[in-house]
C-alpha cells in the first residue's frame, strides 16, 4: 500500500529541506503534525499551546481524541482502523504522504504518535528530534493561530499490526510465565521511574498503586533521551511558550548502553538478536513510545506496547503487583 519507509527520526535541518522541496505549503507529500500531550496534573494545555506557536502549516493531533473508547475510561488508546482513516483524511494525509510528528517537550509524546502510524502500516512517518524547541533552537520559522482550512483526502482502510499492541489478557498470561525459564515469554520493559516501579513513590494518578508486574524490567524512558538547553537568545523570544530545556533521543551507542544496563548483557543480546519479543509499558501507554522508538532505532523488530500500561493493569482487582521490601 505504501512507498518505501522513511527514517524514524529527522533533524530540524532535514525537515526544513523537506519543506523547501514540497511543491506547496499545502502539498499532501509532507504533513507536519503537532502531537503534544501533557500529564493530567500539568497546568499546560497542548491544544492552546499549538494555537500560540507551531511549525508553519502544521496540524494538531489530539492523541486523546484520536483514540478508541475504553470501558475503564483510559485515555489515548489505539484507535481502530476506521478512526485512523478518518483522521488521516481530515489532515489531507494520503498513503504516500511523509508524516512528521513533533511535540513541545522535545521527545516525549511524538514517539507514541509515530508508533500509531507505524502500527497501521504507514511507514512514511518520522518524528522531529528535539520537537518544537529543537526546531526553534535551530532558528527555524514558526507561526501562531489556527491553521488554514484544507481540503480533505481519501485514505484507504488500513490494517493494524496485531503484534504491535498487547492487551490485558496477554499481559496476565505472560505474568504467569517466567522468561528465565520460558523462551516464549516476552520481556516487559517498564518506562516509568524506578521509584514508581519499585513502589517507593506514588503514582501521579490518585488512588492507583505503584509497583510492577512480576518478571517485568525497569527501563525508565529518561534513559533513552538527553536534555538540551535552549540558547539564551532563542529562549528570550519564547519565554511563555517554551521551557528552558528540551529533550532529544540519545545516540545509538547510548541507547545500547542503557539497554545493556537495564536488561543485562545476556537478555539485551536476546532482544537485539530478535530471539525474544519485547513489550514496552509505562503509566498510560504514552512514554512507552520512547522505549519503542529507541529499540526500533537499534533495529529491534519485535517490539509492542501494552496499550493500557500500568494504569489499566493496576486498576483491575486481582492483578499481581510486586513492590520492593524495605524491611
pLDDT in tens, 113-148: 999 999 999 999 999 999 999 999 988 999 999 888
Please state the rounded mean pLDDT for residues 311-320.
Answer: 96
pLDDT at 327 over 80: no
What pLDDT does 1 receive?
Answer: 37
What pLDDT does 2 receive?
Answer: 42
pLDDT at 27 over 70: no
More confident residue, 148 or 225: 225
Residue 227 has phi, psi (to 5 degrees) of -90, 140
Q: Which of 41-45, 56-60, 82-86, 270-274 has the lowest mean pLDDT?
A: 41-45
Q: Which of 36-50, 115-129, 300-314 has the lowest mean pLDDT?
A: 36-50
Which residues does the annotation mark as catalytic? 282
Decide the pairing of beta strands 278-281 and 187-190.
Answer: parallel
More confident residue, 166 or 243: 166
DSSP H or E stretch at residue 293: helix 288-297
pTM passes above 0.85: yes
At residue 219, the 3 state secondary structure works out as coil
More confident residue, 309 or 52: 309
Decide the pairing of beta strands 225-229 and 245-249.
Answer: antiparallel
What pLDDT does 231 receive?
Answer: 82
More confident residue, 139 or 99: 99
- Structural domains of the chain, ranges and CATH numbers in brackets: 9-137 (3.40.250.10), 162-315 (3.40.250.10)
pLDDT at 39 over 90: no
What pLDDT does 233 receive?
Answer: 80
pLDDT at 152 over 90: no
Query: Given pLDDT bands bounded at 50, 70 and 90, which one contains residue 235?
Result: confident
Q: Which three cell numbers stand for residue 129?
A: 528530534
pLDDT at 91 over 80: yes
Percent of the chain at pLDDT > 90 equals 80
How far apart are the C-alpha atoms of 327 and 324, rounded to whole Å? 9
What pLDDT does 44 receive?
Answer: 85
What pLDDT does 24 receive?
Answer: 54
Contacts 24+ apart (CB under 8 A), 65-72: 66/116, 70/308, 70/312, 72/308, 72/312, 72/315, 72/316
How far apart are the C-alpha atoms of 15 and 13, rounded to whole Å? 5
Query: Given pLDDT bands bounded at 50, 70 and 90, which one contains residue 151?
Result: confident
Please state the rounded mean pLDDT for residues 259-278.
Answer: 96
Amino acid at each position: 500500500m505504501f512507498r518505501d519507509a522513511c527514517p524514524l527520526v529527522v533533524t530540524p535541518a532535514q525537515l526544513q529541506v523537506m519543506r523547501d522541496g514540497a511543491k506547496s505549503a499545502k502539498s499532501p507529500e509532507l504533513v507536519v503534525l503537532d502531537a503534544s500531550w501533557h500529564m493530567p496534573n500539568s497546568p499546560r494545555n497542548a491544544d492552546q499551546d499549538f494555537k500560540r506557536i507551531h511549525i508553519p502549516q502544521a496540524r494538531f493531533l489530539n492523541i486523546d481524541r484520536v483514540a478508541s473508547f475504553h470501558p475503564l475510561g483510559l485515555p489515548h488508546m489505539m484507535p481502530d482502523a476506521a478512526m485512523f482513516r478518518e483522521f488521516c483524511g481530515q489532515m489531507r494525509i494520503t498513503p504516500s504522504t511523509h508524516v512528521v510528528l513533533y511535540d513541545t517537550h522535545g521527545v516525549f509524546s511524538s514517539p507514541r504518535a509515530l508508533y500509531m502510524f507505524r502500527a497501521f502500516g504507514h511507514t512514511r512517518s518520522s518524528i522531529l528530534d528535539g520537537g518544537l524547541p529543537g526546531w526553534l533552537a535551530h532558528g527555524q520559522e514558526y507561526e501562531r493561530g489556527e491553521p488554514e482550512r484544507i481540503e480533505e483526502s481519501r485514505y484507504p482502510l488500513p490494517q493494524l499490526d496485531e503484534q504491535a499492541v498487547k492487551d490485558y489478557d496477554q499481559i496476565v498470561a505472560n505474568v504467569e510465565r517466567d522468561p528465565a525459564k520460558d523462551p516464549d515469554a516476552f520481556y516487559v520493559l517498564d518506562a516509568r521511574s524506578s521509584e514508581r516501579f519499585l513502589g517507593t513513590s506514588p503514582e501521579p494518578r490518585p488512588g492507583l498503586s505503584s509497583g510492577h508486574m512480576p518478571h517485568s524490567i525497569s527501563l525508565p524512558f529518561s534513559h533513552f533521551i538527553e536534555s538540551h538547553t535552549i540558547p539564551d537568545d532563542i529562549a528570550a523570544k519564547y519565554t511563555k511558550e517554551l521551557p528552558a530545556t528540551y529533550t532529544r533521543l540519545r545516540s545509538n551507542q547510548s541507547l545500547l548502553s542503557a539497554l545493556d544496563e537495564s536488561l543485562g548483557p545476556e537478555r539485551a543480546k536476546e532482544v537485539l538478536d530478535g530471539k525474544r519479543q519485547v513489550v514496552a509499558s509505562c503509566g498510560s501507554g504514552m512514554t512507552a513510545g520512547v522505549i519503542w522508538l529507541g529499540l526500533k532505532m537499534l533495529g529491534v523488530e519485535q517490539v509492542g506496547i501494552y496499550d493500557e500500561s500500568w494504569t489499566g493493569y493496576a486498576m483491575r482487582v486481582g492483578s499481581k503487583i510486586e513492590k520492593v521490601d524495605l524491611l
